[in-house]
Amino acid sequence: MFHSKSNYVESTLKPAEAAAAADAVRRRDLKPLRRLLPYLAPYRWQIAGAMLALTVSAATTLGLGQGLRVMIDKGFGAGDPGMLDQVLLVMLVVTVLLGAAAFGRFFLVSWVGERVVADLRRAAHAHVLRLSPAWFEHKRVGDILSVLTTDTTLLQVVIGSSVSIALRNGLMLIGGLTMLLITSAKLTGLVFLALPLVVAPIVMLGRMERRLSRASQERVGDVGSHLEETLSAIRIVQAFNHESIDHRGFVDRVEDALNTAMSRVRIRSVTATTVIVLVFGAIGVVLWIGGHDVIAGTLTAGQLSAFVIYAAVVAGSSGSISEVYGDLQRAAGATERLFELLTTEPDIVAPANPQPLPETPRSTVTFDSVGFHYPARPEHPALSGFSLEVAAGETVALVGPSGAGKSTVFQLLLRFYDVQSGAVLLDGVDVRAADPAAVRRRLGLVPQAPVIFSGNAWENIRYGRPEASDAEVRAAAEAAHALEFLEKLPQGFDTFLGEKGVQLSGGQRQRVAIARAILRNPPVLLLDEATSALDAESERAVQEALDELMKGRTTLIIAHRLATVMNADRIVVMEGGAVVACGTHADLSRQGGLYARLAALQFNLDPGLDSRGEQAAA
């Protein structure tokens, strides 16, 4: 039976996952749980209190068996009503003590479980935010969410419940076996003979469950990733009538998760059934032998009754431990995934002794023979021998076809990645030698696709400078020509803008993003097609605000629409990750080449420009 079950298990796993699972099985089953100890250490006193309550609870439970023995042998057997009264009173006191101990144990372990999981979630979230973009190229958001939610919830259940149950039942098992031995050594010997029959299947089946638990969590991650991707692009899904296809994809992932989960459930069910049959079957045989001893007079009725109680305690503890062991197996898999995340080292870190940037920003940017390729595409260089010097207060536009490397320039300046050759310098300091946070504080980014967070306008604009006052936020919104439409919202600046700003138009979202950059007031501006989503009237207004903002400030602009950068101090033409031309709009138009071709194409199509490629009267 186990062989066929194992085949079923293997069929639910992909080859890479099966190999990883097999490697996990070769290791000690619960060893990963040790990594939780540093998170438990701060709460040692609460844990000590829980252990005390747990010990009292186990001891009082075991004491009930002796009370029953005395009641039967000295109360019923001797016909002494007074003894019955005394035994009943003692048992009531013991019962109250048991209830108080159970309350203390449950409350303390639950508190510790919630506290530790909150600490783990904080640590994991803070760590994920520090990981470099290169790491996210190989990860799905759904998998990360699964670790931070599903896996940590499982750990909460284990720390706040299962471990306590395992320890309590472990004490009950040891105490019960001890009391069995005191009550009847002969019958206890028979119990010990049956014990290996229970332990062996627990260990064997527990290993299989752990492997399936990890696979199940990964399949849940598949479901979450697909759902997040679909819901975040719901307009595209509906625009292309893709609802039924995406639903089928979701159903397939749900079924994969279900099949893997059901494999785990089957294994756990087999474990529980095996334990129950073996334990209670063995107890039945032992009681049959004990009954003959009572008849023969070698054992009293009270002793046999106590033995029954202790045997039930041992059986119940064994069954509970078998179930809890399955939870611990699952928690070990969840812990592995969580600490794989926590131990991932970010590629971009501050050096041990970061070189400080000049106290007074010089606002200069230099790219010195930079060579770079993205980790996910090592065979395709994004930049090759790229050199560029941007003086303080200069406005430089980067133009060229898609894939020319324009956005990569911004990525490297923000130090989302490190170059493979050459150097990127801000204010004369190699960004690799500086603290990334210090570098990014001097940069203000307005992306082509504006990012609006779930919240109101105050929170979204203040994202650029959290300590800014309301007056400063309003001034930034006014400078970005966003004040008028924000004040017209139902609750003004307090209006919830929706998931990813769905309550705003594309142009409005862009102006909120520009207001965020204006509020940050950085020495160096990075504008990635910052006016691309605006209509003609809004573009003119925002361009005026940007022109005012760029005065005396170093600005790098990525532009696909050449009309927006005709007045730049320099236009750098890029192709294939290198600079192919540089100059003013007029110079590049006369030189011919790539820029002249792009200009001719766009100006012929853009009614806002005359035949000479100059702006019509504004």
Q: Return the pLDDT at 70.
A: 65
Q: What's the pLDDT tens digit per position in 472-499?
A: 999 988 888 888 889 888 898 988 887 7
Q: Going by C-beta distance under 8 Å and a sequence separation of 6 or more, which residues neighbour residue 569?
A: 394, 395, 396, 584
The domain limits of the chain are 22-342, 452-521
Cβ pair 503, 453 in contact under 8 A: no
What is the pLDDT averaged over residues 539-567? 78
**Rounded to 5 degrees, what are φ and ψ at 160?**
-85, 0
Whole-angstrom Cα distance, residue 67 to residue 65? Answer: 5
Query: How many residues make up the chain in this entry?
Result: 618
Beta strands in 380-495 (DSSP E): 381-390, 395-399, 421-426, 429-430, 443-446
Distances (CA, A) of 246 to 104, 250, 260: 49, 6, 21
Q: Going by C-beta distance under 8 Å and a sequence separation of 6 or more, which residues neighbour residue 265?
A: none
Whole-angstrom Cα distance, residue 597 to residue 595? Answer: 5
Top CATH class of 452-521 equals: alpha beta
**Least-confidence region, from 81-90, 99-108, 496-505, 571-580:** 81-90
Q: Return the pLDDT at 429.
A: 93
Q: What's the pLDDT tens digit per position in 38-95?
A: 888 898 898 888 888 888 887 777 776 666 666 666 655 555 566 666 766 777 887 8
Single-letter residue type at 187: L
Considering the chain, what is the average pLDDT of its residues?
78
Q: Do domains 22-342 and 452-521 have the same CATH topology?
A: no
Cβ pair 87, 71 in contact under 8 A: yes
Buried b (16+ CB within 10 A) or exposed e, 269-290: ebbbebbeebbeebbeebeeeb
Does residue 329 carry a pLDDT above 70?
Answer: yes
For residue 228, how far is the Cα from the chain centroid?
Answer: 14
Top CATH class of 22-342 equals: mainly alpha
Give the helix/strand (H/E) hosting 330: helix 301-342
Does residue 120 carry a pLDDT above 80?
Answer: yes
Assign 235 a pLDDT band (cuts: 50, 70, 90): low
Q: Going by C-beta distance under 8 Å and a sequence separation of 6 or more, which residues neighbour residue 575?
A: 400, 401, 404, 594
Whole-angstrom Cα distance, residue 265 to residue 449? Answer: 45
Quickly count: other Cβ atoms within 10 Å of residue 247's Cβ: 12
Q: What's the pLDDT tens digit per position in 170-210?
A: 888 888 888 878 877 777 777 677 667 666 776 677 667 76
- Helix residue ranges per DSSP H, 468-592: 470-479, 483-487, 506-520, 536-550, 585-591
Q: Return the pLDDT at 9.
A: 37
Assign 617 a pLDDT band (cuts: 50, 70, 90): very low
